[in-house]
Structure formats: structure tokens, C-alpha cells
Amino acid sequence: MRTMAIRTIIPTVNTMLAYDFMRNAFAAAGVVALVAGAVGYFLVLRGQSFAGHALAHLGFTGATGAVLLGIAPLWGLVLLTLAGGIGMGLLGERLAQRDVAIGLVLALSLGFGLLFLHFYTAFATQASALLFGNILAVDIGTVWTLAALGALCLGTLALIARPLLFASLQPELAEAKGVSLRFYAVAFLAIVALATAECAQIVGVLLVFTLMVGPAAAAQRLTGAVGRGVLLAMALALAEAWLGITLAYYTDWPSSFWIAALSASAYLLAVAIGR
Amino acid sequence: MPCHGSNRVTSIALQGVRLKLGTRVILADASLAIGEAEFIGVLGANGAGKTTLMRAILGLLRPERGRIEVLGSPAARGNPAVGYMPQSRAAIGALRLTGWEFVAGVLDGHRLGLPIAGRAGRAEVDRVLDLVGARALARRPLAETSGGERQRLLLAQTLIGRPRLLLLDEPLISLDPHHQASVVALVRALQRELRITVLFSAHELNPLLGALDRVLYLGRGEAALGSVEAVITAPVLSRLYGAEIEVVRLGGRIFVMSGSHDVERDAHQHDQHDTHAHDGHTHDHTHGEHDAGV
Ligand SMILES: Nc1ncnc2c1ncn2[C@@H]1O[C@H](COP(=O)(O)OP(=O)(O)O)[C@@H](O)[C@H]1O
Ligand SMILES: [Mg+2]
């Protein structure tokens, strides 16, 4: 029974991977999932998930603005999320977590994004790709750009991980020990901004949560250790992204839907197991 | 090295210190010296400046005038010989991390790199957990520990790196009297065993009575340091509270009364705004038993 199932699956996986756009999709989603899992772990630990969500909305404005100016949307995304992340960090840890301020930024940026789209003629497809992602449209050049940005994200995160963890767990004590809370707040939100821009390529700005927050929150339910938690979040994000694309290939439903559904299921399952 | 009184070494020395927060004067002109291996109860109404004084000793707030010396050198951030338990720690109770990981999170926390503890780091975490008897409970997620257990983990965390001075900011907040007594006893035992200086702030004197060597009472920009007999008196406290204070001793306990109400108890009740709603119940219990005892 099992061997038969495997015999039928392997050839279909082979046909799936015979397509360039599918290989690009798997590569891009793989890179982004690893980044999202690791960055998301700290985002959830710091209680800043909502800030991550708002950054994604800023990214929408950046992307639509870039399209309007004739630049690649990815660079608009990167630029505006980065500016937003650094801005939030500079406004101070406490303000960066304040729901009203973040909500305001979120709504305003979506409003501007809509305005930019209004001036842009190819309205519907562009908007839907930005909002919900279009993984099958990723070309090989974009894969390399995502890999470079992802390496930058993970490299910087690895460099600052220890003081960032300290500042997240015991801010006042970290401050007393000479750790600059402001610096790490800004540096971390800059990393989140880059990761957000990456995720938006895969699942769209509205569903960045599913790759950044879902796997990390599930991992924190399943293990109480930091190192294992980060690795588990990365593994979960990778599994959800790849499985989502595979399911999309067979069902012809959007991959973003599948990734979101898998992410939510994994979290609920983790909550059920974790208690 | 600066000395005070006999020939004891000084842990903390304030010389003509003026501390301000915004326009508010927390200390007008304070000079005092705290000796090595003393257990000091830092008391005073809510807002008297207990937290602010600790932040100044940590080098997080510069005095407007005067000098603060800590263990023989000017107060400065990043002194590894000073351990600190901050007052605000509400967020910790929601963490899914284990106590062990939480304590380990401060290891070499100022250095760049991955937070992976080496053999020496792991041994240090185990050592401090053993000191407070929390080795077993440190395997549980923080979210599943009680207030008293969390307090022991926080205490263990302050002992990382073998500090010679501990600043503990209101470790008794939202604990019931039984847990308050065990935290005080534990800190006292550690302080004696490790011969470290401890500043332990609290709104209420009674839980600390058996443990402390001297009291540092803050109020209205002034600081009074001395034995309980010398400081907890009507004239000194009337000056610090700016109101007519009466000190009532009853069955080994001391009540600081203004008119007909207990001012320390009032301060304690106000603090419920700072803590979690569900912790408020613990407070109510505390006061209920408190009344019954009188
Ligand atoms: N930035 C500020 N400007 C002016 N006053 C402040 C500021 N921050 C705190 N305060 C006030 O300083 C006082 C001392 O606070 P604190 O040291 O926390 O007292 P305690 O720890 O004894 O309760 C409080 O009355 C508080 O309201
Ligand atoms: Mg205080």
C-alpha cells in the first residue's frame, strides 16, 4: 500500500518540478520561510506581532508607489517597510507596541496604497498579487534577490541574537547592563521589515502573518527552549510553505490560501498538544 | 577605599546627591553610606523614589549634583558586580519559555552572537538555580509557574555572574503573606551565605522586620538610613510623610499610622493599579488576614 502510494507520488513530484516556475516557487518559498520562521520567533517573543502586520501594510503602499514610478514592486516594498520599521523603533519600544499608533499607520498606508492603485491602470491583477501574493510569477532573478536579502536578514539576526534576547526578556536589566534598548529595537524592526518584504512576495502583504507569526507561535507552544524554538519555527514555516505550494499545484486553489490554512491548523494543533 | 563607621567596606556611598525626574525632586541632598554585606530594607510610600534611587545606583540616571559610588567606583551602567531585579515584570508570566531558558537569557547578554550557552554558562545557570532551590521548577514554562516560583527564578537570575551587590525592587508585590515570608527568608539566607549587600525595596516594613540590618526610608526628597528603632519613629516619619505620623507597635509588628489609617497599607492598595487584575485578589487576601492579625 505505502510503496504504491510513494510510487505514484514521486513521478508526480517530478513532473511538478519539471516546470521552471514551480522550481522557482519552491526555491523562493523555501528561502522566505526560513527567514520568516527565525525572525517571527523573536517577533512573537517580543509581543510585536501587530507591528509586523502594520509593516506589511506599509509594504503595500511602497509596492504600489513603486509600480506607479515604474520601479520593481519588491524595491518599493523593501524601502517603505524598512523606513517604517526604523521609524517605529525610533519612536520607542513602548510606542512601537501601542495598538492605536500602529493601527493608524496601518490604515493610512492602505489608504495611500489604494490611491496609488487608483492612478495605476492595471488595477485588479496588480492589487491582488500584492495583497495575496503570486508565488508562481516569481522568476529566477527574484529568487536570487530574495536569497540575498534573506541571507542579510538571517546574518544580522544571528549577529544580534543574544543581546536582542536579553533586551526582550528583561529590558530594564539589559539596560542596566549596558545594552541599548533603542538600538536593538530599531535593528530588530529593520530586520522584520526586510523579512516582511520577502514574505509579501510569497503570500502577499495581507497574509504575512501566516508565515511570520503562525509557525513561531506554534513553535513556542511546543518547546520552551530558545534554540530549539527558532529551528522548529523555521522547519514549520518551510513545511507549510512547500506543502501549501504542492497542494495548490494539485487543487488549483491559491497557494496563499493553503499556506494560511496550514499555518492556522499547525498553530491550533500545537495549542492542543502543548497543554 | 571609602569606609564608613568602623572599618567596614562601603558598598554604596551617596555624597550630597540631588536626584530629579523631570521637574520632580526625588532626593534633595542625600549623603549616606551602606556597608558591605548589609541587608537594607528600602521603604517609602508609592512614588517616594525607591525605583528611581535604584536606577541611579545602576547608573541609568545621573544625579544632578553630588556623587554616587558603587563598590568603590562611580555608578555606571554595565557593572557586572551589581545584580538587579526590576520592578516591572508583568510580561514574564505569559512566556512559554522554561525558567531555565529565561534565567540563561541574561548570560553574557551584552555580547553579540548567538544565545547558545557553553558548558561554563550552563553550569552557571544550574548553580544559581540550585542556590534558590529552583532546579526542578525551572524545567516548566514560565506561564505555568506561580508568583512565588517566578520570584525565585528572578532571584536566581540576579545571581548570575556572582554579583556583590543586589538591588531587588519590590520582590514582594502581589505575593500572599506566606510567600512573602519565604522570599524574605531566602534572600536573607543567600545574603548571609554569599556575603553580599542587598537593597530590598517594599512598601511594607513588617514582612522584612526579622531580616533587615537597617532601613532606608524615603519620602519628600529626603532619605533616612538607620536601625528600625532609630528610623521608624514618629518624628522621622512625620518629616518624611509631611503629615502627623504615629508609630504603633503591636505583637512584634509595627504600624505606621496617620490619623486612624495605616499609611503603608494604603500605599500597598494603591499599587493594585500597577499589577494584574487577577493579582488583585491576592492583595485583598493579604489585607484580610492582616486585619485579622491585629
Ligand atoms: N519622567 C518623569 N518626570 C517627572 N516625574 C516622574 C517621572 N517618572 C516618574 N516620576 C515620578 O517620580 C516619582 C518616583 O517614582 P518611583 O521611583 O517609581 O517611586 P517608587 O518606586 O518609590 O514607587 C513618582 O512620583 C513618579 O510619579
Ligand atoms: Mg517602584
- Probe residue for ligand 1, chosen from B52, B199, B263 as the CB with the greatest number of ligand atoms within 8 Å: B52
Ligand 1 centroid distance, CA of B153 (Å): 27
Q: Which helix (H) or strand (E) holds A177?
A: none
**Cβ within 8 Å, pair B105-A177:** no
Number of domains observed in the structure of chain A: 1
Q: What percent of chain B has pLDDT over 70?
A: 86
**Cβ within 8 Å, pair A226-B58:** no
Ligand 2 centroid distance, CA of B95 (Å): 23
Mapping DSSP onto H, E and C, the string for A71-120 reads CCHHHHHHHHHHHHHHHHHHCCHHHHCCHHHHHHHHHHHHHHHHHHHHHC
Ligand 1, CB within 6 Å, residue ranges? B 21-22, 24, 26, 44, 46-52
Q: Which residues of A touch B117 (CB under 8 A)?
A: none
The closest alpha carbon to B39, from B226, B200, B205, B210, belongs to: B200
Chain B, nearest residue to A181 by Cα: B110
Strands B165-168 and B197-201: parallel
Using 50, 70 and 90 to split pLDDT, how confident is the model at B54? very high
Q: Of B3-7, B268-272, B277-281, where does mean pLDDT reach its minimum?
A: B277-281
Ligand 1 centroid distance, CA of B19 (Å): 11
CA-to-CA dists, residue A190 to A71, A89, B135, angstroms: 21, 8, 37
Alpha carbon distance A40, A55 (integer Å) = 13
CA-to-CA dists, residue A203 to A114, A210, B129, angstroms: 19, 8, 44
Residue A7 resides in a domain: no
**Cβ within 8 Å, pair B114-A158:** yes
- Probe residue for ligand 1, chosen from B21, B270, B272, B275 as the CB with the greatest number of ligand atoms within 8 Å: B21
pLDDT greater than 90 at residue B158: yes
**Cβ within 8 Å, pair B77-A220:** no
CA angle A59, A62, A65 (to 5 degrees): 150
Alpha carbon distance A110, A130 (integer Å) = 12
pLDDT of residue B170: 93
pLDDT greater than 50 at residue B287: no
Q: Using an 8 Å Cβ cutoff, are A63 and A84 in contact?
A: no
Q: How far is B220 from chain A (nearest CA, A)?
A: 25
Ligand 1 centroid distance, CA of B273 (Å): 15
Q: Using an 8 Å Cβ cutoff, are A48 and A97 in contact?
A: yes
pLDDT greater than 70 at residue B291: no
Residues of chain A with pLDDT under 70: 1-12, 92-98, 121-126, 275
Using 50, 70 and 90 to split pLDDT, how confident is the model at B97? very high
pLDDT of residue A35: 95
Burial of A108 (0-12, 13-18, 19+ CB in 10 A): middle
pLDDT per position as a tens digit, B190-227: 999 999 999 999 988 888 888 899 999 898 888 889 88
| DSSP notation for B182-244 | HHHHHHHHHHHHHT-EEEEE-S-SGGGTTT-SEEEEEETTEEEEE-HHHHSSHHHHHHHHTS-
Alpha carbon distance B199, B55 (integer Å) = 12
Q: Using an 8 Å Cβ cutoff, are B32 and B67 in contact?
A: no
Alpha carbon distance A205, A73 (integer Å) = 12
Residue A77 resides in a domain: yes
Q: Which residues of B touch A47 (CB under 8 A)?
A: 91
The fold for domain B3-81+163-293 equals: Rossmann fold (3.40.50)
Question: How many CB atoms lie under 10 A from the CB of residue A58?
Answer: 30
CA-to-CA dists, residue B51 to B70, B92, B166, B232, B237, angstroms: 16, 19, 13, 21, 19
Residue A51 resides in a domain: yes
Using 50, 70 and 90 to split pLDDT, how confident is the model at B92? confident
Using 50, 70 and 90 to split pLDDT, how confident is the model at B228? confident
Alpha carbon distance B102, B211 (integer Å) = 28
Task: Give me the residues paired with residue B226 across strands.
Answer: B215
Residue A232 resides in a domain: yes
Residue A188 domain boundaries: 15-274
For residue A195 the three cell numbers come to 523579512
The closest alpha carbon to B173, from B56, B49, B274, belongs to: B274
pTM reported for the whole predicted model:
0.87
For residue A55 the three cell numbers come to 509593516
- Which ligand has the nearest atom to the CA of B25? 1
Q: How far is A155 from chain B (nearest CA, A)?
A: 10
pLDDT greater than 50 at residue B12: yes
Q: What is the mean pLDDT of chain A?
A: 86
Please give the residue that has the higher pLDDT: either B54 or A66.
B54
Q: Which residues of B touch A167 (CB under 8 A)?
A: 109
The closest alpha carbon to B159, from B129, B199, B195, belongs to: B129
- Which ligand has the nearest atom to the CA of B24? 1
Nearest CB among A162, A175, A274 relative to B111 is that of A162
Please give the residue that has the higher pLDDT: either B91 or B254.
B254
Q: Using an 8 Å Cβ cutoff, are B19 and B164 in contact?
A: no
Chain A, nearest residue to B79 by Cα: A177
Q: Of B12-16, B38-42, B283-287, where does mean pLDDT reach its minimum?
A: B283-287
Residue A2 resides in a domain: no
For residue A19 the three cell numbers come to 516546470
Alpha carbon distance B69, B245 (integer Å) = 33
pLDDT of residue B156: 95
Q: Grid cell 549587600 — which residue?
A: B197
Using 50, 70 and 90 to split pLDDT, how confident is the model at B290? very low
**Cβ within 8 Å, pair A176-B96:** no
Alpha carbon distance B249, B8 (integer Å) = 32
Q: Using an 8 Å Cβ cutoff, are B230 and B38 in contact?
A: no
pLDDT of residue B284: 36
Q: Which residues of A touch B113 (CB under 8 A)?
A: 158-159, 161-162
What is the pLDDT averaged over residues B76-87? 92
pLDDT per position as a tens digit, B107-147: 888 889 898 888 999 999 999 999 999 999 999 999 999 88
Q: Using an 8 Å Cβ cutoff, are B196 and B163 in contact?
A: yes
pLDDT greater than 70 at residue B163: yes
Nearest CB among B105, B112, B116 relative to A159 is that of B112
Task: Give SS3 for A121.
Answer: coil
Chain A, nearest residue to B104 by Cα: A166
Alpha carbon distance B181, B9 (integer Å) = 29
Q: Establish if A178 touches chain B: CB-CB under 8 angstroms.
A: yes
Alpha carbon distance B85, A185 (integer Å) = 22
**Cβ within 8 Å, pair A169-B84:** no
Q: Of A164-178, B92-106, B243-257, where does mean pLDDT reach its minimum?
A: B243-257
pLDDT of residue A6: 57
CATH of the domain at A111: 1.10.3470.10
Q: What percent of chain B has pLDDT over 90?
A: 48
Q: Where are the domains of chain B?
A: 3-81+163-293
ipTM for the complex?
0.85
pLDDT greater than 50 at residue B1: no
Question: How many CB atoms lie under 10 A from the CB of residue B237?
Answer: 23
Residue A6 resides in a domain: no
Ligand 2 centroid distance, CA of A103 (Å): 31
- Which ligand has the nearest atom to the CA of B49? 1
pLDDT of residue A2: 54
pLDDT of residue A246: 93
| DSSP notation for A22-87 | HHHHHHHHHHHHHHHHHHHHHHHHTT-HHHHHHHHHHHHHHHHHHHHHTS-HHHHHHHHHHHHHHH
Q: What is the mean pLDDT of chain B?
A: 83
> What does DSSP assign to residue B19?
E
pLDDT of residue B57: 95
- Name residues whose C-beta falls within 8 Å of residue A73's C-beta, 6 or more positions apart in sequence: A62, A63, A64, A66, A67, A130
pLDDT of residue B108: 86
Ligand 2 centroid distance, CA of B143 (Å): 24
